[in-house]
């Protein structure tokens, strides 16, 4: 059964998304991050975009030591945990 959201619900969701986006920062994929992404990870294989995300997290941890990884991808979660990150799992993943 497919459920569609109403126009009002869509507007509410877009507002929440706009608020979230306003707090985001863009991290350039610098050479250091690209090189780290090529080095490999504890739980291979890792897809290229996941490698960039994990390498970026490692870079950001230098400034934000309490950085938590939020992902629905089990391989990203596993690699993050093996790299010493705390990971957040949504309720639907725990069921």
Residue 91: per-residue pLDDT = 54
Query: Which secondary-structure segment (H or E) carries 68?
Result: strand 68-70
Please report the pLDDT score of residue 95 as a whole number: 41
pLDDT in tens, 63-94: 999 999 999 999 999 999 999 999 997 555 44
Q: Which residues of 19-51 are buried (b: 16+ CB within 10 A; e: fewer)?
A: eeeeeeeeeeeeeebeebbeeebebeebeeebb
Separation of alpha carbons 41 and 59, rounded Å: 14
Say what the pLDDT of residue 2 is: 78
Q: Within a 10 A sphere around the Cβ of 61, how many other Cβ atoms?
A: 15
- The structure's pTM equals 0.74
For the chain, percent of residues with pLDDT exceeding 70: 94
């Amino acid at each position: 059964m497919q459920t569609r959201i109403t126009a009002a619900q869509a507007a509410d969701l877009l507002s929440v998304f706009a608020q979230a986006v306003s707090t985001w920062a863009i991290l350039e994929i610098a050479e250091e991050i690209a090189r780290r992404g090529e080095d490999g990870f504890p739980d291979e294989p890792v897809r290229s975009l996941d490698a960039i995300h994990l390498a970026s997290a490692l870079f950001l941890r230098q400034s934000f030591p309490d950085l938590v990884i939020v992902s629905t991808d089990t391989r990203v979660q596993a690699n993050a945990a093996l790299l010493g990150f705390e990971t957040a799992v949504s309720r639907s993943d725990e069921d």
